[in-house]
Structure 1
């Protein structure tokens, strides 16, 4: 077995910006906390996506509204991709 198969990528980074991994109990306190963080991140992504759809559906939306919507969607997408990578 590859030694990395039992490591879980966590939904946060270290103080130095490096990825954090969980090695050990997949049902433990840290794993449960990570699950809750991921749930909040995915809920925020759904909200950002909904808001972006609203902005794109408004023909009068200006450049600022589009930029603000994109600014919300980009980190949400990054979180969703990190969760997908973590879950394999």
Structure 2
């Protein structure tokens, strides 16, 4: 299997805020499993935060400080989910997709799919 990138973006940053990477060669090692578990926890927490955000925003009586804290928490969760998506996207196998006429490489849907 050929991947986009031989380095895996880890779900945490280094001490100076720079991204951390792991060689993708040994995907079953301790750090890979730790990264997998961390990603799963981040995705789970973001789902719980989304439910909380819907409750707070649906209340209509949230205080400005509560909304500010919610926005900060949502920003952190979005950063984590984005990093997971980038990391997983880089590890997808490369495939040979057939070239379509006109340069459109997206899926082809019948007109009926649009109502």
What TM-score comes out, normalization by structure 2 length?
0.69
| Structure index of larger Rg | 2
Match of 1:87 in 2: 88
Relative contact order: is structure 1 or structure 2 higher (C-alpha 8 Å, sep ≥ 6)?
A: 2
Match of 2:9 in 1: 9
Runs of 4+ in 1 over 2 A off after TM superposition: none
Unaligned runs of 5+ in 2: 90-115
What TM-score comes out, normalization by structure 1 length?
0.88
Instruction: Show CA shifts across 1:18-73 (max 9, x none).
Output: 21111021121110010011111111111111111101101122212211211211
Match of 1:21 in 2: 21
Backbone CA RMSD of aligned residues: 1.8
Unaligned runs of 5+ in 1: none
